[in-house]
């Protein structure tokens, strides 16, 4: 199943220290199309993968494998495809997948998982019937905002909604699909427009980030190493030692979940806030110390300056809370304004990233308007097509927003902030590869309301913005980083990125079709009232906040806006110091991640892994670091395989199982 044309060899190194292929300089006649066998196989896996997501992430609200930057479920599937290859090559070599086939499958499944996963369509499913079921005379949602929610974007039939929450109903047999069809088509259209828009922006930014700045894209190093026989990753004893450490602990703890007499290995650690109960120290809030093996492996790959910055700003954030308790500043509503700090940092990172590529963007303008300058023949999409795509998608977003009742200026402001956040996070992930980047306290809606106050929007605009919470809040499933990583994989394997552009669109369409076909069916069977806690949480978050906005109108938050500006300026200062002082250890991305609570679950893991990395680099240099990498990659794969294995066993036995990561 050989697909893309192989690239030239170079002296570059893989994560295991072995040589690997260097990408070609793409040209119009240098590549072949992708393997149809791989595409068809990946397409067949998408519905199965979506059902897995439905039961695991929605019904049991357990292992959130799509919330990791490197999706657990996709690495699990990739591993067993590699095992299949090892067996088939000895019997029927022609039936084996090539590395490019494996990576095509990885790209398609990673993208479809991001579309359907916990912070995307899983959340949307929780919003669609929520107001119809939970509106009561006590909360007065019917009078407050129900009339402002477009009927074509939610489920309004009371019987269909009741059976959705009660369960034990055949979704297709009861013909409830007809109530879901219009919202499913409408929201799918929005997702496709956003996907195409992000792809066009990604096509414009790919070259300077990948070829000129040579960002490392740490997230893709594991699938590249696993799928490339030349790295000999699976021949490394250190890899299997790391694998065994994680796997044995997960097996023992999984058995403890089923049989409490089996001893438990306390990898979930302790909570420091349980020991700091006196004022002002109790102001630190939730502070866990945990040992998640895959987090240790992934944070070991982080650049040291980013690791140090993450835990430095995390500790600084805790000090802010203690100082607030001592001084009384904690009585100021919103203190310590984490959402404003993080939003300022993200906007700063985006602005800096765009300024850094301004020369490239000028060349793009020359190519688009004067048909000269930079050669774009090897890009995922020619620059003229990308610019036209941005314009068309922006117009379509405006039309969609106005059809649902949003004012044009509100739609422009919301989507502009959202896109800036996407670019910032894509930049952070391409440069550092953080294992998770949940934005607990950052959303375009909150930032705009704090900036202008609720009266500037009115009930209809606020209601419309609340329907967007599912894709703009807690964003671990950003699509743009997956798109950039797909193009980088193509470059690393000496392949054309143009087929990847269409593969990403194809994966999005397949993800949408499978999600809207499978998610409702699963929840009508199990009943969302008794299950699906995380999914319902998105609905409560959206509409409780909307109710609060409407019942308690707010003026512009001048203190919060000042803090946002301060966060923006601090990001500029940190960037300036990094460029002027070679020894400067603090990275602006660390500030953005720490203040958004993105690293709360694994801050101690960053301290632990970065200390190990520093010791290894100090004692043995880069060579020792490369030699140690297989152990940490083994930690990731071992943890992933057992986590997904327990999840699949839960589906088979129809019961919750031990969860490695919630």
Residue 596 and residue 82: Cα distance in Å, rounded?
Answer: 37
pLDDT in tens, 157-194: 999 999 999 989 999 999 999 999 999 999 999 999 99
Extended beta strands in 357-492, E state: none
For 495-517, what is the mean pLDDT? 93
What's the pLDDT at 412? 96
For CA atoms 512, 514, 515, 517, give the dihedral sign: positive
* Residues forming beta bridges with residue 299, ordered by sequence position: none
Token pair of 333 as six digits: 């509503």
Residue that is written with structure tokens 């993200």 in the block: 346
- Rg, the chain, Cα only: 24
Q: Which helix (H) or strand (E) holds 442?
A: none
How confident is residue 534, by pLDDT bands cut at 50, 70 and 90?
A: low
Contacts of 229 (CB under 8 A, 6+ apart): 99
Alpha-helix residue ranges (DSSP H) falling in 54-176: 72-91, 99-116, 121-127, 130-134, 141-144, 158-166
| Verdict on whether the full-model pTM lies above 0.75 | yes
Do 631 and 610 form a contact (C-beta atoms < 8 A)? no
The percentage of residues in the chain with a pLDDT greater than 90, rounded to a whole number, is 69
pLDDT in tens, 94-124: 889 999 999 999 999 999 999 998 888 998 9
Do 493 and 230 form a contact (C-beta atoms < 8 A)? no
What's the pLDDT at 440? 77
For 633-661, what is the mean pLDDT? 92
For CA atoms 43, 45, 48, 54, give the dihedral sign: negative
How confident is residue 493, by pLDDT bands cut at 50, 70 and 90?
A: confident
Write the DSSP symbol of residue 35. P
How confident is residue 270, by pLDDT bands cut at 50, 70 and 90?
A: confident
The percentage of residues in the chain with a pLDDT greater than 70, rounded to a whole number, is 94
Q: Which helix (H) or strand (E) holds 599?
A: none
Q: Which helix (H) or strand (E) holds 71?
A: none
What value, to the nearest 5°, has the Cα angle with vertex 303 and ends 299 and 309?
Answer: 85
pLDDT of residue 280 exceeding 60, the answer is yes
Q: 14, 471, 41, 8: which is closest to 224 by C-alpha?
A: 14
What's the pLDDT at 505? 95
For CA atoms 148, 152, 155, 156, give the dihedral sign: positive
What's the pLDDT at 662? 67
How confident is residue 16, by pLDDT bands cut at 50, 70 and 90?
A: very low
Helix axes 177-207, 358-370, angle to 10 degrees: 100
Token pair of 415 as six digits: 């989507």
What's the pLDDT at 533? 65
Residue 12 and residue 272: Cα distance in Å, rounded?
Answer: 43
Do 332 and 645 form a contact (C-beta atoms < 8 A)? no
For CA atoms 220, 223, 227, 231, give the dihedral sign: positive
pLDDT in tens, 434-458: 888 887 778 899 999 999 999 999 9
φ, ψ (nearest 5 deg) of residue 467: -70, -15
For 218-234, what is the mean pLDDT? 90
Contacts of 411 (CB under 8 A, 6+ apart): 397, 398, 401, 402
Residue 611 and residue 617: Cα distance in Å, rounded?
Answer: 10
Q: 638, 591, 641: which is closest to 297 by C-alpha?
A: 638
pLDDT of residue 11 exceeding 90, the answer is no
pLDDT of residue 26 exceeding 80, the answer is no
For 485-499, what is the mean pLDDT? 89
Distance of CA 70 to the CA centre of its chain: 9
Residue 483 and residue 426: Cα distance in Å, rounded?
Answer: 9
How confident is residue 535, by pLDDT bands cut at 50, 70 and 90?
A: confident
Helix axes 603-653, 72-91, angle to 10 degrees: 70
Q: Which helix (H) or strand (E) holds 222?
A: helix 221-227
Helix axes 358-370, 338-356, angle to 10 degrees: 60
CA–CA distances in Å: residue 417 to residues 238, 386, 423, 522, 632: 45, 20, 10, 34, 37
Do 292 and 660 form a contact (C-beta atoms < 8 A)? yes
pLDDT in tens, 548-572: 999 999 999 999 999 999 999 999 9
pLDDT in tens, 350-403: 999 999 999 999 999 999 988 887 888 889 999 999 999 999 999 999 999 999
pLDDT of residue 248 exceeding 90, the answer is yes
CA–CA distances in Å: residue 271 to residues 274, 285, 437: 6, 10, 21
Residue that is written with structure tokens 């200026």 in the block: 409
Do 516 and 188 form a contact (C-beta atoms < 8 A)? yes
For CA atoms 386, 511, 497, 477, give the dihedral sign: positive
Cis peptide before 280 (omega within 30 of 0): yes
Alpha-helix residue ranges (DSSP H) falling in 436-587: 444-452, 458-466, 469-472, 479-492, 498-526, 533-551, 558-580
pLDDT in tens, 474-488: 777 788 999 999 999
pLDDT of residue 24 exceeding 60, the answer is no
Q: How many residues does the chain have?
A: 662
Token pair of 373 as six digits: 């300058």
In the chain, count of helices (H) and strands (E)? 25, 4
pLDDT in tens, 201-222: 999 999 999 988 889 899 999 9
Contacts of 476 (CB under 8 A, 6+ apart): 66, 67, 68, 69, 117, 118, 119, 436, 437, 438
Contacts of 637 (CB under 8 A, 6+ apart): 75, 79, 222, 226, 239, 242, 243, 246
Residue 226 and residue 234: Cα distance in Å, rounded?
Answer: 8
pLDDT in tens, 63-74: 888 889 999 999
């Amino acid at each position: 199943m050989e697909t893309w044309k192989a690239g030239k060899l170079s002296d570059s190194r893989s994560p295991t220290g072995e040589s690997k292929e260097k990408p070609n300089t793409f040209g119009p006649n240098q590549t072949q199309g992708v393997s149809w066998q791989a595409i068809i196989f990946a397409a067949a896996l998408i519905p199965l993968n979506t059902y897995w997501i439905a039961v695991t992430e929605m019904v049991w609200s357990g292992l959130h494998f799509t919330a990791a930057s490197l999706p657990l479920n996709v690495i699990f599937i990739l591993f067993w495809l590699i095992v299949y290859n090892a067996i088939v090559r000895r019997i029927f070599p022609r039936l084996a997948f090539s590395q490019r086939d494996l990576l095509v499958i990885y790209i398609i499944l990673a993208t479809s998982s991001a579309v359907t996963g916990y912070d995307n369509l899983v959340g949307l499913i929780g919003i669609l019937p929520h107001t119809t079921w939970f509106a009561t005379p006590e909360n007065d949602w019917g009078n407050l905002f129900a009339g402002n929610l477009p009927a074509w974007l939610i489920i309004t039939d009371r019987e269909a909604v009741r059976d959705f929450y009660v369960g034990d109903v055949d979704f297709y047999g009861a013909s409830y699909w007809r109530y879901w069809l219009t919202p499913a088509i409408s929201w799918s259209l929005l997702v496709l427009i956003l996907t195409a828009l992000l792809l066009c922006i990604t096509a414009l930014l790919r070259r300077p980030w990948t070829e000129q700045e040579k960002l490392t894209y740490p997230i893709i190093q594991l699938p590249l190493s696993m799928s490339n026989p030349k790295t000999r990753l699976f021949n490394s004893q250190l890899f299997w030692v790391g694998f065994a450490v994680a796997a044995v602990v997960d097996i023992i703890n999984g058995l403890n979940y089923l049989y409490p007499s089996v001893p438990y290995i306390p990898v979930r650690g302790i909570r420091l806030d349980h020991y700091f109960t006196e004022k002002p120290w109790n102001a630190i809030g939730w502070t866990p110390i945990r040992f998640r093996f895959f987090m240790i492996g992934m944070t070991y790959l982080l650049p040291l300056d980013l690791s140090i910055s993450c835990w430095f700003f995390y500790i600084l954030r805790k000090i802010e809370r203690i100082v607030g308790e001592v001084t009384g500043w904690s009585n100021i509503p919103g203190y310590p304004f984490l959402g404003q700090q993080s939003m300022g940092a993200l906007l700063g990172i985006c602005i800096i990233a765009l300024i850094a590529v301004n020369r490239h963007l000028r060349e793009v303008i020359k190519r688009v308007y004067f048909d000269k300058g930079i050669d774009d023949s090897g890009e995922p999409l020619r620059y003229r097509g990308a610019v036209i795509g941005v314009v068309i998608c922006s117009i379509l977003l405006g039309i969609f927003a106005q059809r649902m009742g949003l004012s044009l200026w509100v739609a422009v402001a919301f989507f502009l902030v959202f896109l800036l956040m996407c670019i910032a996070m894509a930049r952070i992930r391409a440069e550092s590869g953080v294992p998770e980047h949940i934005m607990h306290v950052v959303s375009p809606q909150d930032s705009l309301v704090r900036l202008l106050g609720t009266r500037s929007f009115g009930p209809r605009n606020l209601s419309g913005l609340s329907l967007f919470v599912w894709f703009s809040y807690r964003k671990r499933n950003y699509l743009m980083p997956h798109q950039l990583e797909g193009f980088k994989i193509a470059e690393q394997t000496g392949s054309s990125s143009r087929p990847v552009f269409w593969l990403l669109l194809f994966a999005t369409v397949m993800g949408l079709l499978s999600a809207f076909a499978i998610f409702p069916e699963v929840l009508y069977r199990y009943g969302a009232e008794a299950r699906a806690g995380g999914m319902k949480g998105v609905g409560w978050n959206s509409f409780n906040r909307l109710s609060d906005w409407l019942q308690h109108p707010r003026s512009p938050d001048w203190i919060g806006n000042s803090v946002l500006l301060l966060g923006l300026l601090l990001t500029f200062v940190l960037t300036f110091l990094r460029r002027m002082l070679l020894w400067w250890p603090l990275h602006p991305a660390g500030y953005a991640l720490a203040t958004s609570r993105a690293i709360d679950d694994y801050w101690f893991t960053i301290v632990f892994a970065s200390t190990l990395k520093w010791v290894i680099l100090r004692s043995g240099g880069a060579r020792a670091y490369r030699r140690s990498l297989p152990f940490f990659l083994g930690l990731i794969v071992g943890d992933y395989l057992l986590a997904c294995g327990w999840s699949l066993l839960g589906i088979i036995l129809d019961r919750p199982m031990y969860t490695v990561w919630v």
